[in-house]
Amino acid sequence: QLQLVESGGGLVQPGGSLRLSCAASGSTLDFYVIGWFRQAPGKEREGVSCISYSGEKLMSADSVKGRFTLSRDNAKNMVYLQMNSLKPEDTAVYYCAAERSPMRDFCTLIRRHYDYWGQGTQVTVSS
């Protein structure tokens, strides 16, 4: 059973950067689609960025394009979300999610496609 643990969240000033990590255990990340989602207080959980199992296909929400970069290291069973030029509206709990998809190299920001979720890490952007 795949387990995911996020880390790297914290308090950062507007314009600052953070790198979130997602560590997988219980299985290798080979053939898993990975997505990052976030949920702000009182709001629905939304897709931020995703990456296919090969790493060749990526997708990002318009709100983070050009600022957030998702990468993966299957050998280390790790996924990273580099967040630059952070804004107060990026404040949320960030979740890593995974879905096994050996037959199709794709990714999606649709939440219901993902079976495995981490516990989340808080990101607060404030001066």
pLDDT digits over 55-65, tens only?
999 999 999 99
Which tens digit of pLDDT belongs to each residue from 103-115?
A: 889 999 999 999 9
What's the Cα-to-Cα distance from 94 to each of 31, 54, 58, rounded to whole Å?
Answer: 22, 23, 18
Which tens digit of pLDDT belongs to each residue from 38-91?
A: 999 999 999 999 999 999 999 999 999 999 999 999 999 999 999 999 999 999
Q: Is the pLDDT of residue 102 over 90?
A: no
Question: What's the confidence (pLDDT) of residue 35?
Answer: 97
3-state secondary structure of 113: helix
Please answer whether residues 101 and 110 qualify as being in contact, where contact means their C-beta atoms are separated by less than 8 angstroms.
Answer: no
